[in-house]
């Protein structure tokens, strides 16, 4: 999102429609970093702004399920990682929610939904990695015996 927003910001003085929309929405922003002082400092708002600037349908209207999963991802994972609280109880609770209470694949589907929305709206073929994992293989998880888990517990 940042990359595409940055590219539009760089062309903001141009005559194309996204540049015009940028000027209408944000006015004169001489430094890209100054956008973080606006409502687009949050990722969900950047997604909405980018849809507007590109003239795309809004993700939350066209694909509400992907948007809800995306917002859940932001609440649970992003805030946990970006604003960690060094309290073991809160850490374990947040981690348990993300790893055991959230259905497998929820976060992957959220990312696929939002990224796929931009490709579909832009009439672009989605990259192969959006359709299937091309980077790594996961062979499973080894459950350690109880005595080893206690010794190595965090």
Q: Is there a single domain that holds both residue 35 and residue 60?
A: no
Residue-wise pLDDT for 65-104, tens only, equals: 889 989 988 887 766 777 777 788 888 887 787 778 878 7
Residues 67 and 24 in one domain: no
Task: Name the token pair of 99.
Answer: 């790893």
CA-wise closest residue to 122 among 34, 53, 38:
53
Proportion of the chain above pLDDT 90, given as a percent: 45
Alpha-carbon distance 154 to 149, whole Å? 9
Domain extent for 88: 56-130
Any domain includes 138: no
Task: State whether 23 and 74 are in the same domain.
Answer: no
Residues 116 and 81 reside in one and the same domain: yes
- Is residue 116 domain-shared with residue 66, that is, in the same domain? yes
Q: Name the token pair of 116.
A: 């796929």
Rounded CA separation 82/91 (Å): 13
């Amino acid at each position: 999102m940042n990359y595409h927003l940055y590219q539009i910001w760089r062309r903001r003085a141009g005559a194309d429609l996204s540049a015009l929309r940028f000027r209408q929405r944000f006015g004169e922003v001489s430094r890209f970093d100054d956008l973080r002082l606006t409502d687009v400092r949050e990722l969900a708002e950047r997604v909405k702004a980018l849809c507007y600037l590109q003239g795309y349908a809004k993700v939350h209207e066209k694909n509400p399920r992907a948007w809800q999963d995306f917002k859940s991802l932001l609440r649970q994972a992003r805030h946990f990682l970006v604003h960690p609280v060094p309290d073991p109880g809160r850490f374990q609770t947040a981690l348990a929610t993300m790893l055991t209470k959230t259905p497998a694949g929820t976060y992957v589907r959220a990312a696929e939904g939002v990224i796929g929305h931009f490709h579909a709206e832009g009439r672009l073929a989605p990259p192969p990695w959006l359709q299937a994992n091309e980077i790594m293989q996961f062979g499973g998880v080894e459950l350690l015996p109880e005595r080893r888990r206690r010794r190595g517990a965090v």
